């Protein structure tokens, strides 16, 4: 027994020498807490944007289009729960793409998926209290526009928090690693793929409708995907550019206590090298995985 305790103490001492159990300073703890708040607040804003666009019945962001269609076809399961289920499937897709390159700590994406699913259910209930079920066209347009801005702000905060990737982004990054294509190209492939799957599911579930699509979005074979999906997919990135330009530096200083790293100026290869350097520390400390860079998707 004493020998066993001695071995455990020696192992613990060795771990401390390697820095695995280094106690964070008060400043580090405060900065990490700020990042967590930014991350959760960002996800809450994304959920708000999703609920706003969903209320119009004109479609929502591409990555959430499959859960949206499934929640309309099978309403006994909430959209938030469908989000968790579908996002869990996205993690399995990452495993299929990466194979042995799949890191065990990617499973932590289930945490972000579960949190986001509960937030979506909460914001759906919240906006359902005051947004009318039947909306005029002008109100639908206004809500889609507002949703785009809110989602862009949420993604900005969520990415700056730099914690756990959402599974949709994980698929995009995994596809880029496997194929060597740019992340932006893989993002387009992913968005188009999930929207097509959502459309196919809608056509299957609502095939008994007499019309293909209606202006109010509540009838027809195509539901849960529509004009709003296209608008959000195209303009979230556009809206994020000025937000990033004006707020990235001050927010980064607030969250990390230092200036953001200067962007690479030697083209795409330099960016890939920087990405590889950022990923290496994450592999050394899998207990606190960092979000890998990926374009806005929510």
pLDDT on residue 14: 45
Task: Take residue 59 and report the two structure tokens written for it.
Answer: 């479609």
* pTM of the complete model: 0.81
The per-residue pLDDT for 173 is 92
Backbone dihedral region for residue 199 (phi beyond 0: left; psi -120 to 50: alpha; all else: beta):
alpha
Q: State the Cα–Cα distance between residues 98 and 134, nearest whole angstrom.
A: 45
Which of 271, 232, 19 has its CA nearest to residue 146?
A: 232
DSSP string over 29-47 = HHHHHHHHHHHHHHHHHHH
**Residues with Cβ < 8 Å from 264, sequence gap 6 or more?**
270, 271, 273, 274
What is the crossing angle of helices 109-128 and 167-179, to 10°? Answer: 140
CB 70 within 8 Å of CB 88: no
Torsion of CA 10, 14, 16, 17, to 10 degrees: 140
Residue 21's pLDDT is what? 52
Length of the chain: 298
The two tokens of residue 99 are 């194979």
Distance, CA of 123 to chain centre = 16
Which pLDDT value is given to residue 208?
Answer: 86
> What does the block give as tokens for 57?
């019945």
What is the pLDDT at residue 120? 97
pLDDT tens digit at each of 298 positions of the chain: 444 444 444 444 444 444 445 777 888 899 999 999 999 999 999 999 999 999 999 999 999 999 999 999 999 999 999 999 999 999 999 999 999 999 999 999 999 999 999 999 999 999 999 999 889 999 999 999 999 999 999 999 999 998 888 999 999 999 999 999 998 899 999 999 999 999 999 999 999 888 888 887 788 899 999 999 999 999 999 999 999 999 999 999 999 988 877 665 444 444 444 444 444 333 333 334 444 545 444 5
């Amino acid at each position: 027994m004493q020998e066993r305790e001695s071995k455990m103490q020696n192992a613990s001492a060795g771990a401390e020498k390697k820095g695995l159990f280094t106690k964070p300073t008060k400043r580090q703890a405060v900065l990490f807490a700020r990042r967590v708040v930014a991350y959760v607040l960002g996800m809450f804003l994304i959920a708000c944007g999703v609920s706003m666009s969903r209320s119009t019945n004109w479609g929502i962001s591409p990555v959430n289009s499959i859960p949206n269609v499934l929640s309309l076809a099978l309403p006994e399961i909430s959209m938030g729960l469908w989000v968790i289920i579908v996002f869990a499937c996205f993690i399995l897709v990452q495993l299929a793409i990466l194979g042995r390159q799949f890191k065990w700590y990617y499973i932590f994406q289930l945490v972000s998926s579960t949190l986001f699913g509960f937030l979506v259910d909460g914001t759906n209930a919240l906006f359902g209290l005051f947004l009318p079920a039947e909306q005029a066209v002008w109100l639908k347009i206004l809500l889609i526009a507002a949703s785009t801005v809110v989602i862009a702000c949420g993604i900005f905060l969520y990415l700056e928090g730099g914690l756990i990737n959402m599974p949709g982004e994980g698929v995009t990054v995994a596809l880029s690693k496997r194929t060597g294509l740019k992340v932006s190209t893989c993002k387009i492939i992913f968005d188009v793929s999930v929207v097509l799957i959502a459309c196919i599911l809608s056509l299957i579930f609502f095939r008994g409708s007499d019309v293909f699509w209606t202006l109010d979005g509540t009838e027809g074979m195509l539901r849960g995907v529509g004009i709003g999906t296209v608008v959000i997919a195209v303009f979230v990135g556009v809206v994020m550019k000025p937000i990033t330009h004006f707020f990235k530096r001050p927010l980064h200083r607030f969250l990390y206590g230092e200036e953001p790293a200067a962007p690479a100026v030697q083209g795409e290869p330099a960016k890939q090298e920087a990405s590889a350097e950022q990923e290496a520390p994450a592999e050394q400390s899998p207990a606190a995985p960092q979000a890998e860079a990926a374009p806005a998707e929510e």
